[in-house]
Structure 1
Amino acid sequence: MNEWKLKRTAMRNYDLTAHLYDMRYAEEQAEKIRAALEKVELGGQSYVLDFGCGTGLLFEYIAERVWMIVGLDFSRKELNEAKKRSRRFGNVHLVLADADYAPLRSGVFTHIFAITLLQNMPNPGKTLNEAKRVAFKNATIIITGLKKRFSLEEFKEILCENGLSIADIMDSDNLKCYIAICFNQHF
């Protein structure tokens, strides 16, 4: 199946289940977010991209601590749920787009979160390169890799082959994914 067919299938699946997503996955996603935030410093000058933001669960954890969040997702219905969640924050902006072709300026984000994104992308390297493109030099990039999709070695290899410097990888038994804290080294 070609890249666009795979993406369209994933988009349709997320559109169909958007209204149930939080009920099914909120706690699992919250565990990933909390684990990542233990290792990441955010502050008032942080300009954050939530790459594949889904229903915007991350917003609740960081919106009051950062300058701005851009949530990007290719599912219109997931973004509708994110819009509901973001109403109480004045610093969240949403973009309907494919993560491989983000309509965003290069080199602007100080932090990028790609939680539960890579396993949905036909070409993870392309997605990582787009994340690097929009990231500020030495930006912190937080990426998860679903354990049933990637072995730890495969996950590390994808990150390193695509020019990310790994600072830490969390591999906890209570998480269904690996969490990598990386730095953008593309300049």
Structure 2
Amino acid sequence: MSEWTWKRDVMQRYDLTANIYDMRYSEEQTAKIGAAMQNVRMGKETSVLDVGCGTGLLFNHIASKARTIVGLDISRKILVQAKERADKFSNVHLILADADNTPLKKGTFDHAFALTVIQNMPNPLKTLNEIKRTTKPNAVLVITGLKKKFPVEVFRSLLQNASLNIIALENEGLNCHVAVCTIFLH
């Protein structure tokens, strides 16, 4: 299957479930966000990229803590849902884009979140490298990986192959591994 066919299938799947996404997944996503936020600090000047932002559940948890949040997703219909949430905050902006080919400048963000993203990508390493490209050298990245797709050793290896240092790895009681990382500088 080509990369675009893969991504189109993912986009269509999220387009079909956009209206029920929060009902189906908000509890699970909130647990992941909670696990991540135990190990993430941000200040009023922090700029955040939310890759695969979905309906924008993360916005509720960080909008009051960050200067700017950019939510990016490939699904137009899920971004319609995210817009309803984003409109409550003056510092949240949405972009319809592919996580592997973002229209974002290099070195823009202090933090990046990719919750429930890499398991949906045909080449997770490519996705992680694009996320890294958009972040500053001292950025904090929060990456989740579905346990049934990424056994912990495979997940750790993927992050290490992307030159990410794992600061914290949470997975107790979650269906995902939640990694808080920094970029390994050579």
Question: Which category describes the TM-score, using the shorter chain as reference length?
Answer: over 0.9
CA RMSD of aligned residues (A): 0.9
2:89 corresponds to which letter in structure 1?
Answer: F
1:114 counterpart residue number: 114
Per-residue Cα deviation, 1:131-180 (whole angstroms, up to 9, x for no partner): 110010110000000001100000000000111111111121x1000011
2:87 counterpart residue number: 87
Runs of 5+ consecutive residues of structure 1 not aligned to the other structure: none
1:136–1:184 Cα contact (<8 Å) kept: no
1:132–1:186 Cα contact (<8 Å) kept: no
Q: How does 1:50-69 map to 2 (within 5 A)?
A: 50-69=50-69
Per-residue Cα deviation, 1:43-101 (whole angstroms, up to 9, x for no partner): 10110000110000000000011100000000000100000011110000000000000
Using structure 1 for the length normalisation, give the TM-score: 0.98
1:6 counterpart residue number: 6
Runs of 5+ consecutive residues of structure 2 not aligned to the other structure: none
2:76 corresponds to which letter in structure 1?
Answer: R
1:138–1:185 Cα contact (<8 Å) kept: no
1:56–1:82 Cα contact (<8 Å) kept: yes
Structure 1 segments, 4+ long, off by >3 Å, are none
Query: How many residues are treated as equivalent by the alignment?
Result: 186
1:131 counterpart residue number: 131
How far did 1:186 drift?
A: 5.0
2:174 counterpart residue number: 175
Using structure 2 for the length normalisation, give the TM-score: 0.98
How far did 1:185 drift?
A: 2.8
Given the alignment of the two structures, is residue 25 of structure 1 paired with residue 20 of structure 2, yes or no? no
2:37 counterpart residue number: 37
2:77 counterpart SS class = helix
2:146 counterpart residue number: 146
Instruction: State the distance in 1 between where 2:156 and 2:12 align.
Output: 29
Q: Indicate how the Cα distance of structure 1 residues 112 and 151 shifts in structure 2: closer, same or farther if over 3 A, else same.
A: same
1:4 counterpart SS class = helix
Q: Indicate how the Cα distance of structure 1 residues 186 and 8 shifts in structure 2: closer, same or farther if over 3 A, else same.
A: farther
What percent of counterpart residues are identical?
53
